[in-house]
Amino acid sequence: MDEFRECDHLAQADRHISEAKAHIARQKETIAELKRDGHDTKVAMLMLNAFKHTLCAFEQHREVILVRLRNG
């Protein structure tokens, strides 16, 4: 893959990471609201865990892209 395409992929990965972090922050707020109002948080916690795993995958993918850029 050419460098331009890899840079585009890197930018996309950065956007995905940013969006995932925003999802995690919102989900934490939702969980706090659910707890405050006395609701069950089991499903919300499972979703938070899924968001965290997704973030990890995005971060790992970003690292792969960086390695490809470094190795040309």
pLDDT digit string (tens) for 37-55? 999 999 999 999 999 999 9
Q: Is the pLDDT of residue 64 over 80?
A: yes
Number of domains in the chain: 1
Distances (CA, A) of 12 to 37, 39, 45, 63, 64: 37, 36, 27, 13, 13
The domain in which residue 67 lies consists of: 3-71
pLDDT digit string (tens) for 15-37? 999 999 999 999 999 999 999 99
Q: Is the pLDDT of residue 3 over 90?
A: no
Residue 1: per-residue pLDDT? 58
